């Protein structure tokens, strides 16, 4: 009786750090810190993970700017403001200058995003002071600055006051 052959996956040699990183990057953008963390979690040495990510960044496969732009687009569609997104990017290991550049390149209309979020969550403008205060806190918590919050609560179409 013949012994069954090992499956193709088991016969293959382990993937290199660079190949594993490319595999992760083909699914979605990753920040450098996140990619290194995932590679280390897969059992790679920290130095190998760092070298692979640095090499991929040099070759243009990995970019913190593209990652920051993807996060900015995604969170803006979810109704989050620039302060919240910038905080999230910095927490993910993207430097503040790159986060600012990503938000500038995405050129989001933060006022329209805030208005849209309020319209989706509220059926009518808040009348009593407690409801206005609640809405104000929610908008600040979502990362919108006071100028936009005031304008959205007032029902203005343009926050330039």
What are the residue boundaries of the structural domains of the chain, listed by start? 16-62, 63-108, 110-154
The structure's pTM equals 0.82
CATH of domain 63-108: 1.10.10.10
Whether 153 contacts 136, CB under 8 Å:
yes
- pLDDT of amino acid 5: 58
> 16-62 with 63-108: one CATH topology?
yes
Phi, psi of 127 (to 5 degrees): -100, -50
- pLDDT of amino acid 95: 94
CATH of domain 16-62: 1.10.10.10
**What dihedral do alpha carbons 33, 38, 44, 45 form, nearest 10°?**
30
Angle made by CA atoms 27, 113, 83, in degrees to the nearest 5: 75
Q: Which residues of the chain have pLDDT under 50?
A: 8, 161
- pLDDT of amino acid 12: 62
């Amino acid at each position: 009786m013949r012994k069954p052959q090992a499956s193709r996956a088991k016969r293959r040699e382990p993937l290199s750090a660079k190949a594993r990183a490319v595999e992760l990057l083909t699914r979605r953008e990753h920040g450098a810190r996140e990619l290194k963390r995932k590679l280390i979690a897969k059992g790679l040495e920290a130095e190998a993970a760092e070298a692979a990510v640095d090499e991929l960044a040099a070759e243009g496969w990995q970019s913190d700017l593209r990652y920051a732009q993807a996060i900015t687009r995604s969170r803006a569609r979810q109704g989050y403001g620039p302060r919240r997104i910038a905080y999230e990017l910095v927490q993910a290991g993207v430097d503040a200058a790159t986060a600012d550049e990503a938000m500038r390149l995405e050129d989001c209309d933060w006022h329209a995003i805030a208005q849209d979020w309020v319209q989706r969550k509220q059926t009518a403008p808040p009348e009593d002071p407690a409801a206005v205060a609640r809405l104000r806190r929610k908008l600040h918590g979502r990362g919108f600055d006071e100028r936009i919050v005031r304008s959205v609560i007032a029902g203005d179409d343009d926050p330039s006051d």
